């Protein structure tokens, strides 16, 4: 699997916090209704690792809204969430303080391929095999 997810630490993210054209979307906001005009980066927050609403928001932004800019995960971002984040449309993630980016990269080697479709691969494995 290609590592298309850019992993940042808290300090790197803080240095980019005041970037222009950033939309911080609340967890209870409807991703289908948000105005994306001029937006280059959308930040979706994980208030705790068990709250997965941002996965759905990212997926909707990529697949239904066609958003091509950066979607960044912030908050309680743990290493074991990164593969799902990439598959649902995130392009970057800010690791929770104290987590090692090297450990995060190794996580992607554990899962080289998937049966299901996702935001990067629009066809399930059986359809790719038949083609």
- What is the pLDDT tens value at each position of the chain, 131 positions in all? 445 889 998 999 989 877 779 999 999 999 999 999 999 999 999 999 899 999 999 999 999 999 999 999 999 999 889 989 998 999 999 998 888 878 877 777 777 666 677 777 777 777 877 76
How far does Cα 121 stand from its chain's mean position?
15
pTM, two decimals, is 0.85
Residues 19, 77: Cα–Cα separation, whole Å: 21
The alpha-helical segments, DSSP class H, found in 8-96 are 10-15, 53-59, 82-88
Q: What is the pLDDT of residue 1?
A: 41
Neighbour tally for 100: CB within 10 Å? 12
Residue 127 token pair: 């359809």
Q: Provide DSSP, 79-113.
A: GGGHHHHHHHT-SEEEPPTT--HHHHHHHHHT---
């Amino acid at each position: 699997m290609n590592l298309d997810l850019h992993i940042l630490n808290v300090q790197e993210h803080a240095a980019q916090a005041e970037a222009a054209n950033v939309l911080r979307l609340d967890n209870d906001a409807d991703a289908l209704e948000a105005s994306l005009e001029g937006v280059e980066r959308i930040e979706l927050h994980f208030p705790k690792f068990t709250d997965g609403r941002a996965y759905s928001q990212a997926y909707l932004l990529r697949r239904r809204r066609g958003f091509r800019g950066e979607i960044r995960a912030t908050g309680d971002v743990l290493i074991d969430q990164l593969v799902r984040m990439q598959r649902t449309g995130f392009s970057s993630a800010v690791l929770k303080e104290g987590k090692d980016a090297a450990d995060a990269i190794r996580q992607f080697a554990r899962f080289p391929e998937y049966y299901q479709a996702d935001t990067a691969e629009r066809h399930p494995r059986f359809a790719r095999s038949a083609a």
